[in-house]
Each structure stands twice: as C-alpha cells, then as structure tokens.
Amino acid sequence: MKGRLIKNREKIAVMRDYLLTTSTKIDALKQYVKADRAKLASMKQRSIEFRRKFEQVRDFYRAARPFFPLYFQGLLAESAARSSASLNSECYIALLPSSLPTAFELRRLNGGGQVFCDNVENVDVHMHSAAPRWSPVTLGMVNYAAYGAMLEADGLITIGDALAKTLDRFGRPVHVLKNFREFSVSTPNSELKEMCGVNAEDTLLFASGNVVIGFEPVLRAMLLLPDSYHLAAFVRLVPIAYRESIEQLVVDLGLQQRVHFFAFVDYERLAHLAAGADIGMITSDIANPNGAVGLPNRCFDYIAAGLPVIAPAMPDVKALVSEYGFGEILADTSAESWAESIKKVAGRIDHYRVQSHHARASLTWESQEDALYKFLGEPKSVTLIAFRDLTKYQRYKRLSRTLLKRGCTVKAAFVSMDPDLNNLVEGVEYFVTNERHQVINGLTKLQGEGAAKCS
C-alpha cells in the first residue's frame, strides 16, 4: 500500500510538473496571441489608412482623367526636349495641333526654326470622326489650347480645300497638300473575286477605311441590287458597338453570302486588290463633321486601282469628280441613292474606268512636291512630330521621300507602342517614345533590321 502511495505521489508530481509546463505554455501562448492581436490591430489600421489613401488617389485620378490629353502633350514635349539637339532642324512639322507644343519647345531650345501644323482633320476635337466622349469642360480646354497654338504657327497645311476654309480664322498662310498617292499603275486581276468566292462576271463593289457612320444604307442598297452584286469591305468599323450592330444587320438582311469583310491589308497591297473589283465606294457620311470637309485617302486608292468612284457630296470629292468624271456623287446617302448610282456606274463601267485612268495620271503626289517645298521655305532640315506612328503613316512617308529627294535631313519624333522597324523610310532618323504616364527614358532612336538604341 505504501509503495502504491509513493508511486501515486510520483505520478501526481509528474502531472503537477506537466500542468506547470502546460500553464507556462498557455501563458506564453496568451502573450503571443496578445501580441498577434496587437499586430492585427496595427495591420488593420494600416489597411484602413491605405484604403483611405487609395480612395484619395482613385478620386484624384477620376477627376484628372478627363484632362489627360493636355498632360500627354506635355509628355511628348518633355521627351523630345531630352533629345532636342538630335531633333534640331530649320523646320518643324507637327501633325495636328496636339503636336504643336513639342514643335514650339524644340524651336525654343534650339534657338529658332519655322513651325508648321498639318491639319488632316478638323481642329476642333469634338468634330473628329471618332470624337472622344469628354466633358464640355475638357473639350473646351483642349480646343482652346489648339486655337492658341495654331495662331503661333508659321504656316498651316491641310488635305483639301473645304478643310482649308475652316483654317481661315487663324490668319496664317495655308497650303493644301492633298493625299494623292505616288504614281503607280495597278492592273485588273482575279485575286479579290477569288478571295470572295464570286464569279468573274459578278459585279464586285469595294469599300475600305475606317467607318464610324453611314454603312447601314450601303448594306440596304444591296437588297435593291441583283444577287450578282457583291461587296468586299476592307473596313474597320468603330467603335465596337457600331461594328457589332453592322454585323448583326448583315445577318438580319440575309447578306452573309454577298457582303465579304476583310481585315486591313498593307498599303502597298491595297491598290492591287482593289483593281480586282469593279467600283470603289466612299462610305463616309457628310452628317459626320469630318466627312463633310474630308478628302478621303480611299478616293485616291481607288483611282490608283483604275476604279470608278461613288461618293457622298463631300465638297472636295465632288469637285474632283466634276473635273475628271471618274465617278458619281450621291444625291443623298439613302439606300435608294446608293443603289441608283451603283447601277448607273455599272451600266457604263468602261467609260468611268477610262476617266479614272486619266485622273490617276494627273492626281499624283509628285505633282504637289515643288509647291509644298516652296511653302516650307525650302529648308535643308525638317523634323516631323506626331502622336501617330510615323513608321506606318503613309502621308508622312511620302512627305519624307519628297524632302529627302531635295537634299533635306529628315527626322521624325513620335509616339508608338510597336513601331514597324522593317518598313522605315531609308534616310529618315526615327525617334520614338512609348512612355504614356511619365517621362523616364525619353526618346529612343530606331535603327533598321529590328535593332533599337537610346538616343
């Protein structure tokens, strides 16, 4: 009995030690939990402060976002300023008023130079084809900045006579440089009809370019034409909602087998493909402010392909058609008017083709080069500036070749996320930035064959 009591006492002692150890661990755990709670409380407080700061930044961003267009103009100007010595020229040509601040800064830093603004669309942003959905305050600020910049330019360039009239208010010399193509001849071929899967004797209509309005009556006109009439559309329908509505309309009208959509093709290939069609159509609408004063590139693409042209009553296109007789101008943009004009041109296709060939021989980029160079003051060096990718922008590639032929040094400063290094105009120095939020590296000088290095 005594032995069992001793053993029980020993067990009790072991249990007491275990309990003491456990109690110590529990106390330590309580301290840990207490400390952890303090950390959690601190983290929670930091989280609350972070959320508050995040909401402040978010609210600031939302408030500032409408005014980013002006901010971006400053980014390009600052990037160019870092390479001002490399961009120094006798003449600076800014594509649209948004590029003028950069041109003015380069002129200031380099101690002089003529500044020209090339206006390929309306100065007023709210009148652009795909006008941004900014508030009236933002539109006003951007427009007023453009007006002031235009008044400081040494001269203005534009694409057509109608648009030139809108520039009279700035009181600066204006020169019209139409988007004629460099002279080339594209001969009729079967490639496009084969792509569309149509017969050689079918009538193939051709449309190209960006379209933001006016495509609906073209589609409805197809219902008023025989089934042998097809449409090849190398168009970009914008915005997305408009594209979706047009795609649905094609289905609703049952035109899936007669309307053939294609992605854009390289500029060098466009006229060749168009030459396989029968009639070229400018599917703009003069209800669009830009369309009312525009002179679309596609007009000259069609002429280069030897196609007759059908277009709305855009003043500059109407004047060219009246002078050269290479097509018809719509009475209005209804489906009935489209169908009537298409049948009229198709009925005398050979006549209109001959007239298109005559126009092609006269309406060439080369015919404008001397007058342009004289307007610029016959400079020995020119820097082109744009928010558009100048490795892909055909107007400025033609302009570059014109200047190079006259012994000019040509440079280009622009914004691009993916410049085309395989199609640079030989002899032009390209400087690009892809920085869209802050200037860190400034401009990068492009080299051919895919290489690039910082300037």
Residue-level pLDDT at 352 = 97
Residue-level pLDDT at 78 = 93
Residues 170 and 243 in one domain: no
395 assigned to some structural domain = yes
Per the DSSP assignment, residues forming a β-bridge with 452 are 446
Mean pLDDT of 290-302: 86
Average pLDDT over the chain, rounded to whole? 90
Residue 347: is its pLDDT beyond 70?
yes
CA pair distance 426, 448, nearest whole angstrom: 9
79 assigned to some structural domain = yes
Residues 329 and 356 in one domain: yes
3-class SS at 201? coil
CA pair distance 401, 406, nearest whole angstrom: 9
Residues 173 and 244 in one domain: no
Q: Are 418 and 58 in contact (CB under 8 A)?
A: no
pTM, full prediction: 0.82
- 70: exposed, middle or buried (Cβ count in 10 Å: 0-12, 13-18, 19+): middle
Q: What is the DSSP letter of 403?
A: H
20 assigned to some structural domain = yes
Mean pLDDT of 110-127: 92
CATH at 72 = 3.40.50
Per the structure, how many domains does the chain have?
3
pLDDT bracket for residue 452 (50, 70, 90): very low
Structural domain containing residue 86:
68-180+366-454
185 assigned to some structural domain = no
Who contacts 278 (Cβ-Cβ below 8 Å, separation ≥6)? 203, 204, 205, 206, 307, 308, 346, 349
301 assigned to some structural domain = yes
Residues 91 and 237 in one domain: no
Of 348, 363, 378, which closes a domain? Answer: 363
3-class SS at 364? coil
pLDDT bracket for residue 431 (50, 70, 90): very high
281 assigned to some structural domain = yes
Mean pLDDT of 373-400: 97
Residue 278: is its pLDDT beyond 80?
yes
Of 66, 95, 120, which closes a domain? Answer: 66
Residues 354 and 382 in one domain: no
Cross-sheet strand order for the sheet of 229-237: 259-261, 229-237, 203-211, 279-281, 309-311, 327-329
Of 66, 85, 112, which closes a domain? Answer: 66
379 assigned to some structural domain = yes
Residues 98 and 215 in one domain: no
pLDDT bracket for residue 453 (50, 70, 90): very low
Residues 345 and 405 in one domain: no
pLDDT: which is higher, 1 or 358: 358
Residues 60 and 79 in one domain: no
Distances (CA, A) of 122 to 76, 98, 129, 299, 424: 21, 12, 9, 19, 28
Residue 129: is its pLDDT beyond 70?
no
3-class SS at 259? strand
CATH at 265 = 3.40.50.2000
Residues 345 and 408 in one domain: no
